[in-house]
């Protein structure tokens, strides 16, 4: 058991080192040699746990992707209306990507691999299904306009989030992710919310925004 | 001059080979050895033109990124209203990514490198500025709601496009890109278009959609 614990600690050290490098210089530039150096490990230790750089990347996508989806799901276990949970969940995701290095590296790897890696494909598919399910519930509750298709709305919300995150990571090093999520929601809100609920959700968004903007880095 | 032409042909052959591999198996899996093999070139020829894999990637981002932005700009030289040009331009971009291998590889590399590569950062920044400029014109022309901020709308449109493209590349191998762009526009339209213009732009979008959906691969 001691041996197993030590082996797990080694594995985690390699993942941590890879995560740091991916966030600092990007996946293509992060070589296996740099990852080993930083983790103060031998090549043998790395290959014992990961057959290749992509196997290591897949572990990060799986673990980090689950944290991102987990943050969105957690926001849904409140008994609040589904649309509140969607909006709150999206800001929880922004927080997770900003504060959790593993989640941040995973979101970079997800964009890098997309359809070429089964774990990346599964993560996007699962998140999209989760989002669409919530939107369906929000339509049933009368908060999202009944003439809209749940999948179209789910895809638009999820796609705008992904694009907003990509733009923020590319143009401001992710520092203003909270601000850009707010901006996107402000534009989307009147398109998807039922007329009777728009006033309430503008207020709800404003409250979420203040909290999220405060978390943007200077 | 013959020598120069031959050298240019070699450079192009290497780029073509890299582009094919990036589209088929993704950038991380496309090794320099595979790129040389496919181009039937020597290592020396490759290193004569490109110091590293990232220098090669940068050339593809620059050339392919210019084609994508070029397609959007070309749609703007028609003398039509700015919002028509934005919508038409976005579908021209979808066509370019589907039909032009270089543009397709560039859009994958843009997501992979994001803020870590100056060419990627420049391409996103330039496209966003172009989009925001058009939205500003559309507000002046009365087609986009005057109470909206041009940059917020530009960022939302551009971000939704990027996210939609990423989701399509990841979940359906880019086959349904046209369909997903249409879906996103259908949701966005009522949020950004001035009430008097909504009817016209729904019709305009429907016409663009038919053409774009026809180009999706089966």
Of B115, B159, B192, nearest to A163 by CB-CB distance is B159
Please say whether the beta carbons of A181 and A161 come within 8 A: yes
pLDDT 10s digits, A58-87 = 999 999 999 999 999 999 887 899 999 999
Of A112, A148, A191, nearest to B112 by CB-CB distance is A112
Structure tokens at A9: 């600690």
Q: What is the pLDDT of residue A54?
A: 95
Least confident of A149-153, A203-207, A214-218, B26-30: A214-218
Q: How confident is the model at residue A212 (pLDDT cuts 50, 70, 90)?
A: low
- How many angstroms separate the Cα of A59 from the Cα of each of A94, A103, A172, B93, B175? 21, 12, 27, 34, 28
In terms of C-beta density within 10 A (0-12 exposed, 13-18 middle, 19 or more buried), how is residue B6 classed? exposed
Contacts of residue B162 in chain A, CB cutoff 8 Å?
162-163, 166-167
In terms of C-beta density within 10 A (0-12 exposed, 13-18 middle, 19 or more buried), how is residue A190 classed? middle
**Looking at chain A, how many residues does it have?**
218
Contacts of residue A29 in chain B, CB cutoff 8 Å?
54, 116
Does residue A209 carry a pLDDT above 90? no
pLDDT 10s digits, A139-184 = 999 999 999 999 999 999 999 999 999 999 999 999 999 999 999 9
Q: How far apart are the first and last CA of chain A?
A: 45
Please say whether the beta carbons of B150 and B136 come within 8 A: yes
Is B111's CB within 8 Å of A116's CB? no
- A129 to chain B, any CB pair closer than 8 A? The answer is no
Work out the minimum CA distance from A2 to partner chain B, whole angstroms: 36
Q: How confident is the model at residue B129 (pLDDT cuts 50, 70, 90)?
A: very high
CA nearest A35: which of A51, A53, A49, A48? A53
Domains assigned to chain A = 1-50 (1.10.10), 52-214 (1.10.357.10)
∠ CA A97-A148-A110, nearest 5°, is 25
Structure tokens at A26: 């990007």
Of A116, A148, A187, nearest to B26 by CB-CB distance is A116
Contacts of residue A158 in chain B, CB cutoff 8 Å?
163, 167
Q: What percent of chain B has pLDDT over 90?
A: 89
Work out the minimum CA distance from A116 to partner chain B, whole angstroms: 6
Phi then psi for residue B217, to 5 deg, are: -75, 150
Does residue A127 carry a pLDDT above 70? yes
Rounded CA separation A27/B12 (Å): 26
Does residue B65 carry a pLDDT above 60? yes
- A180 to chain B, any CB pair closer than 8 A? The answer is yes
ipTM of the complex: 0.93
């Amino acid at each position: 058991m001691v041996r197993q614990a030590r082996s797990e600690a080694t594995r985690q050290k390699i993942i941590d080192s890879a995560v740091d490098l991916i966030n600092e210089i990007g996946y293509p530039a992060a070589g296996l040699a740099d990852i080993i150096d930083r983790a103060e490990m031998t090549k043998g230790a790395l290959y014992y746990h990961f057959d290749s750089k992509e196997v290591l990347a897949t572990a990060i996508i799986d673990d980090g992707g689950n944290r991102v989806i987990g943050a969105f799901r957690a926001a849904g276990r409140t008994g609040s209306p589904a649309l509140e949970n969607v909006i709150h969940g999206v800001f929880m995701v922004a927080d997770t990507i900003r504060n959790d290095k593993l989640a941040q590296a995973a979101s970079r790897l997800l964009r890098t691999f997309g359809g070429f890696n089964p774990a990346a494909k599964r993560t996007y598919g699962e998140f999209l299904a989760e989002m669409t399910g919530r939107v369906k519930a929000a339509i049933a509750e009368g908060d999202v306009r009944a003439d809209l298709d749940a999948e179209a709305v789910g895809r638009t919300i999820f796609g705008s989030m992904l694009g907003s995150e990509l733009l923020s990571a590319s143009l401001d090093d992710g520092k203003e992710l909270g601000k850009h999520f707010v901006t996107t929601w402000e534009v989307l809100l009147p398109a998807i919310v039922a007329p009777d609920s728009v006033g309430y959700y503008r207020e709800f968004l404003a409250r979420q925004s203040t909290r999220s903007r405060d978390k943007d880095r200077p």
